[in-house]
Amino acid sequence: MSKNRHDVQDMTPEKAKELKAYSQAIAAILYEETPLEQLNTLEEIEQTVRQKVLKYVSPEIGVFLSKRSQGQPLVEQEN
């Protein structure tokens, strides 16, 4: 099978573990910040998760991708 530039590269096990931990932390925050009445059905859960990910998580990923394409540092230093 040939690889092209759009194929996703595998992560190292260490990075996959780190990403999982961050994802679980994000999930915990989103859960804490969601009224229980929005979590009654699978459909409500799916809609709520999608809305919150689009509002809070995706923009940060977009910043990462933008910086990456511009060759800027990926992690901002805190002052």
Alpha helices in the chain (DSSP H): 13-32, 42-52, 58-70
How many other C-beta atoms lie within 10 A of the C-beta of residue 46? 10
Q: Which pLDDT value is given to residue 73?
A: 64
Structural domain boundaries in the chain? 37-72
Percent of the chain with pLDDT over 70: 77
Q: Which pLDDT value is given to residue 65?
A: 72
pLDDT greater at residue 78 or residue 5: 5
- Which pLDDT band holds residue 74 (cuts at 50, 70, 90)? low
Question: Is 11 in contact with 19 (CB distance < 8 Å)?
Answer: yes
pTM for the full model?
0.66
pLDDT at 13 exceeding the cut of 90? yes
Q: Using CB atoms within 10 Å of the CB of residue 67, give its burial: 0 to 12 exposed, 13 to 18 middle, 19+ buried.
A: middle
Given CA atoms 7, 11, 17, 21 in this order, what sign does their dihedral have? negative
